[in-house]
A and B are shown apart, each in its own frame.
Chain A
């Protein structure tokens, strides 16, 4: 907020509803102005102005309105917007979204106060992502490659191992030819306590905690705190990337909790609901979160964003994954049937996509055959899945010989290519070689998506022979 005003105090509360407090007699509260609510027992809470009218101001209280009474409560308008002190000291520490420490450590002293809502990046200064990040996971590196500066979410389902996958990626991610690791900013939004413990433990064990900052709100906290969590996390990420020249991996878990908090707040404001009761502006709101990623011309750092969300009832058309998919640059989709088959990571590659992959793979970046192999694996696996459906109806015996090969390919692809260990870190060459190995199950004339030269160079039938 640019214009600074004096602190003004009022005590005429006319209504309290959900997280909202309506204050009468306020002449000049600014939209989005920070407010302090002081209760008779001295407890202080914070909030912001969400509707400012002449004489009336509607304040949304972050910590909830439980215990607030119209009598004896003082509302102080602070004359500035919501700002959180951000600093590189936050790495290795845990904070709530208002910047208060949650790890018994001291408050941040040296730092920069920033409006956590951020500002839109000017498209004219964006630098296009083209550096391949090796995550060591074949289904991602080989088929849905992640690039530095990309925003690539994980669509998960209840009980699927999204957090294990996210942790593995955070641990293994490197850009080839560079020593430095990513700094990781974790935004844990309304997570269960056991999830919070999982991440903490994982990073302590792997020695990663000193390059990780955790911004956290728990499942039982008021909805406003949950909506603030990714904003604070990304404000920190922007500071580290664009002021401190760091490459940041921002992981937000779980965006479903964020959207539900958004819906709860919207309902209490009596806004016209959109699809599924979620507010009509949810697309824009999510975009303002997800678009806070990327690279900037002339800056050394970058933000790579990996939001994780739970698809309610595994439904990818639910508004939360649906709107997310329209904003992010692809998605990694987890699949319950693969998980039940015992395959980790249970990534459904057909439902997954990396929009930017084309610009970061191939000759000079990964390996010359990468694009072709990737296209061929996709096309062949899609055909295999189709054939499986056919075999289920007419029986495997009625299939043509070629179709039977496709069934074999499909199984090998899942068990050898997709499946790997929680600590298994495959380099891209290994990933592509496994790809060729499973493709060699198919007759060569089926491999029309790869150039003949690559078949001669990499196909196991020719490899090593001159």
Chain B
């Protein structure tokens, strides 16, 4: 292992000399306080090290010791429900050790608790042939998640020994595999280098929607399990709230929330609310399925760079167990800025806006770790990693390098619009700019499971919104009164779509989560309103009169926050009232 001495300290960059055996991306300990760092360049016997902690007080001559291994994380029971920093150090335990509200540097605490015992149930028996990814046994880690203990990649052979059902620590050997005569012990915990994607059998096309309970996301720009999405928006447009909605309500088995260079209080918010909030799909506390990785903006910048890879590695680990995993990262712009900061200190040649030239390949590598896969091992299982990331473009300019590069590698685009946010239209997803390339893939699911007319109604809403945009340009020139009646109706229907369907209050107990059935019911009401009103307009009734007489409209708008997901029969009343009021209107008009 490499052993050298500090030659230079410049912020998070330390240069060490005498590092003959150093490897690229090897983890090293720097200086007397043994700060964690990673080798990012080697010149002769000089190693350039990005240090994950504050380097104040480090001076030339202090020792630098290599570990011989790349940056790796511990995977095993004990991850769920915990808050970690960007290197997966447990922040809750750090608090106990430091006895201080502040994070002291140089702290070394393992990710997984070494003392805690987990109840292991073996699933295969002595003498069985095992290959990588086989389920050795299970641990019921939380009420919600059965943690499956897998044979690590690269281990195969004959099972020489396996423990009986009982309580074990993560470092206890639970099995011994005879691998060509070598005895390889297997523990519940395994390690994996974060920058290397975990292996799988094959990658498949996504087929199922990843339902989020957010109407505009599910119906207009649907996400698929194993898909990729970017949420760019200027500050105050609601990126974080949208990501929090995703992490709370989406139909994923596991959620990894990576706070990458964002606010401390936001992580506290999740940590505080998740134990109380119930997963709408299972009724269990959300924290049971969540891992929080927090590298807030004021924590060291190099660890921020690593936190993204840590998050996606955790996701892949649970995917390999056969689960659908959602990783949300807030925000990848802060990660890109960390790349720029470190690149600048290494005196690399900058490309666009000072970002390093490898920015786009790094972004591509990250999103390519998403996908639905057939996992290694037996029994056969499918799992997926869905990646949804916020992007924070400077000044809200979507042409800047991080946003424009990200757009090339994601298949769902949920752009947030500050003018919608200012009018408190949330989620402020711009329906004209957004896109999803999964609409066709998930249509079948909606048609089969929710409503046979789903696609027709959805496309009607999209068409109406597009038409509204054209009409608005005309209104800006000639005023609303000179429009034809049927165009006035389009404006009215578009208003209804926005108020009753697209707008959704993430902080309202009822409105925050809309079941797919409820989404379809609201959509159907609007669709019917349009049918009835078009008929009335064709019979010469002015739109103004329709607006005055159809008094059920405010009730339709409020229904998202008054009708619960389990009392959708109340929509029948609204349907009836709507029809009755139109019948009345036609009768009065003598049409």
User: What is A's interface to B at a CB cutoff of 8 Å?
Assistant: 1-3, 5, 27-33, 50-54, 81, 115, 117-129, 149-150, 242, 271-275, 280-281, 283-284, 287-288, 291-292, 294, 296, 299, 317-319, 322-323, 325-327, 329-331, 350-351, 353, 355-356, 358, 371, 375, 378-379, 382-383, 390, 393-395, 398-400, 403, 445, 448, 451-452
Given A126-B268, A350-B423, A31-B91 contact (CB < 8 Å): no
- B299 contacts the other chain (CB 8 A): yes
**Chain B residues with CB under 8 A of A273:** 354
CA of A329 to CA of B234, assembled, Å: 14
Residue with the greatest number of chain B CB neighbours at <10 A, chosen from A121, A319, A398: A121
**Contacts A120-B298, A291-B264; A317 near B396 (Cβ below 8 A):** yes
Q: By the criterion CB–CB under 8 Å, are A448 and B554 in contact?
A: yes
Provide the B498-515 mask, 1 if CB < 8 A to any CB of A, else 0.
010000010100000000
Q: Is the CB of A31 within 8 A of B58?
A: yes
Interface size on B, residues (CB 8 A): 80
How far is B55's CA from A3's CA once the two chains are assembled, in angstroms? 12
> Are B56 and A32 touching (Cβ within 8 A)?
yes
With beta carbons under 8 angstroms apart, the residue of B299, B353, B553 that contacts A275 is B353
Between B296, B397, B425, the greatest number of chain A beta carbons within 10 A of the residue's beta carbon is seen for B296
B47, chain A: closest CB distance, angstroms? 15
The answer to whether B424 touches A393, judged by C-beta atoms less than 8 angstroms apart, is: no
- Pairwise interchain contact A350-B265, C-beta atoms closer than 8 A: no
Does B275 interact with chain A (Cβ within 8 Å)?
A: no
CB-CB < 8 A to B235: which residues of A?
322, 325-326
Contact A325 B94 (CB under 8 A): no
- Assess whether B60 is interfacial by the CB under 8 Å rule: yes
Give the distance in Å from the alpha carbon of A138 to the alpha carbon of B269 in the complex: 26
8 Å CB contact of A398 from B422, B481, B551: B481
Q: Which of B82-128 contact A (CB under 8 A)?
A: 83, 91-92, 94-95, 98, 100-105
Do A51 and B8 touch (CB < 8 A)? yes
B265 contacts which chain A residues (CB < 8 A)? 126, 128-129, 149-150, 294, 329, 356
Q: CA separation between A32 and B103, bound complex, in Å?
A: 19
A395 to B476, CA, bound (A): 11
A196 CB → nearest B CB, Å: 29
Binds A, one of B181-189, B334-342, B434-442: B334-342
Subset of 12 A-B contacts with CB under 8 Å: A27-B60, A30-B58, A30-B59, A53-B8, A53-B60, A121-B101, A123-B259, A150-B265, A242-B101, A355-B240, A394-B476, A448-B554
B349 shortest CB reach to chain A, Å: 10
* A280 touching B268, Cβ below 8 Å: no
Q: Which of B101, B298, B344 contacts A299 (CB 8 A)?
A: B101
Across the interface, do B298 and A52 meet the contact criterion of CB distance under 8 Å? no
Query: How far, in whole Å, are A229 and B56 apart by their CA atoms in the complex?
Result: 19
> Smallest Cβ distance from A222 to chain B, in angstroms?
21
A327 proximity list for chain B (CB < 8 A)? 263, 297
Residues of B within 8 A of A294 (CB): 264-265
A345 CB, nearest partner CB in chain B, Å: 18
State the Cβ distance, B232 to closest chain A Cβ, in Å.
12
In the complex with contacts A30-B57, A54-B7, A383-B341 CB distance below 8 A:
no
| Interface flag for B480 (CB, 8 Å) | yes
* A124 pairs with B57, CB closer than 8 A: no
Measured CA separation A27–B350 after assembly (Å): 32
Q: Flag whether B32 is at the interface (Cβ < 8 A).
A: yes
A398 proximity list for chain B (CB < 8 A): 479-481
Contact with A along B391-434 (1 / 0, CB 8 A): 01011110000000000000000000000011111000000000
Interface residues of B in 446-485 (CB under 8 A from A): 475-481
List of A residues within 8 angstroms of B201 by Cβ: none
Question: Is B394 a contact of A54 with CB atoms below 8 Å?
Answer: no
Known contacts A291-B296, A326-B392; A28/B59 CB under 8 A = yes
- Min C-beta distance of A445 to chain B, whole Å: 6
Shortest CB-to-CB span from A430 to chain B, Å, is 23
**A291/B263 in contact, CB under 8 A:** yes
- Taking CB atoms, residues of chain A closer than 8 Å to B392 are 326
Interface flag for B236 (CB, 8 Å): yes
Query: Which listed residue, A127, A382, A394, A448, touches B423 by the CB 8 Å rule?
Result: A382
Asked if B58 and A123 sit within 8 Å, CB to CB, the answer is no
Collect the chain A residues with CB atoms within 8 Å of residue B395's CB.
Answer: 317-319, 322
Assembly CA distance A45 to B321 (angstroms): 62
B585 within 8 A of A: no
Q: Is the Cβ of A123 less than 8 Å from the Cβ of B424?
A: no
Nearest to A319 among chain B residues (CB) is B394
Closest to B557 in A: A448
B347 closest partner in A (C-beta):
A272
**What's the nearest-Cβ distance from chain A to residue B492, in Å?**
12
Is B177 engaged at the interface, CB distance under 8 Å to the other chain?
no
Best-buried of B60, B104, B425 by chain A (most CB within 10 Å): B60
* Binary contact readout B343-373 vs A (1 if CB under 8 angstroms, 0 otherwise): 0100000100110000000000000000000
Contact partner, A52, options B60, B240, B263, B477, Cβ 8 Å: B60
- Do residues B261 and A287 form an inter-chain contact, with CB atoms below 8 A? yes
Q: Residues 250-269 of chain B: 1 if any A CB is under 8 Å from the residue's CB, otherwise 0?
A: 00000000010101110111
Considering only CB atoms, which chain B residue lies closest to A389 in the complex?
A: B476
- With A121-B264, A123-B271, A394-B479 already in contact, 19 other A-B pairs whose C-beta atoms are closer than 8 Å: A3-B32, A28-B59, A29-B59, A52-B9, A117-B56, A123-B83, A123-B268, A125-B101, A242-B101, A280-B341, A284-B301, A317-B234, A317-B396, A327-B297, A393-B476, A393-B477, A395-B479, A400-B481, A452-B558
Instruction: Name the distance in Å between B115's Cβ and chain A's nearest Cβ.
Output: 19
Contact of B61 with A by CB under 8 A: yes
Q: Is the CB of B33 within 8 A of A2?
A: yes
Residue picked from A351, A356, A383, A445, most chain B C-beta under 10 Å: A445
| Contact B10 A51, beta carbon cutoff 8 Å | yes
By the criterion CB–CB under 8 Å, are A379 and B57 in contact? no
A123–B57 contact, CB under 8 A?
A: no
Q: Mark B33-60, 1 if CB is under 8 A from A, else 0.
A: 1000000000000000000001111111
Identify which of B7, B341, B480, B551 contacts A284 (C-beta below 8 A).
Answer: B341
Report Cα–Cα, A375/B268, bound state, in Å: 25
Using CB atoms, name the residue of chain B closest to A31: B9
B482 CB to closest chain A CB, in angstroms? 8
B554/A445 in contact, CB under 8 A:
yes
Structural contact, B236 and A122, CB atoms closer than 8 A:
no
Question: Would you call A280 and B344 a contact (CB within 8 A)?
Answer: yes
Please give the distance in Å from A124's CB to the nearest CB on chain B: 4
Find chain A residues with CB under 8 A from B7 CB: 53-54
With A and B bound together, what is the CA distance between A81 and B56 in angstroms? 8
In the bound complex, CA of A35 to CA of B105 (Å): 23
Tell me the bound Cα distance from A274 to B98 in angstroms.
Answer: 37
A378, B7: Cα distance in complex, Å? 58
Complex Cα distance, B296 from A329, in Å, reads: 14
Contact between chains at A31 and B56 (CB < 8 Å) = yes
Give the residue of A52, A54, A123, A448 whose beta carbon is less than 8 angstroms from that of B264: A123
* Contact assessment for A51 and B271 in the assembled complex, using a CB-CB cutoff below 8 Å: no
Contact between chains at A122 and B59 (CB < 8 Å): no
Top 6 A-B pairs ranked by shortest CB distance?
A: A317-B395, A287-B297, A382-B423, A325-B235, A119-B102, A32-B56
Chain A residues near B475 (CB-CB < 8 A): 390
Q: Is B294 on the interface with A (CB-CB < 8 A)?
A: yes
- B102 interface neighbour in A2, A120, A399, Cβ under 8 Å: A120
CB contacts (< 8 Å) of A350 on chain B: these are 422-423
Q: Which residue on A lies nearest to B235, using beta carbons?
A: A325
**Chain B's nearest CB lies how many Å from the CB of A227?**
15
Is B272 an interface residue when CB atoms closer than 8 A count as contact? yes
> In the docked arrangement, what's the CA distance between A394 and B422, Å?
24
| Closest partner residue, chain B, to A272 (CB atom) | B344
Please report the C-alpha to C-alpha distance between residue A448 and residue B553 in the assembled complex, in whole angstroms. Answer: 10
CA distance A50 to B102 in the complex (A): 24
Distance A400 CA – B548 CA, assembled complex (angstroms): 13
Cα A441 to Cα B230 with chains together (Å): 41
Inter-chain CA distance A28–B267, complex, in Å, is 39
Instruction: Determine the distance from Cα of A362 to Cα of B480 in the docked complex, in whole angstroms.
Output: 38
Within 8 A of A (CB), among B1-18: 7-11
Instruction: Pick the residue among A28, A371, A445 that contacts B60 (CB under 8 A).
Output: A28
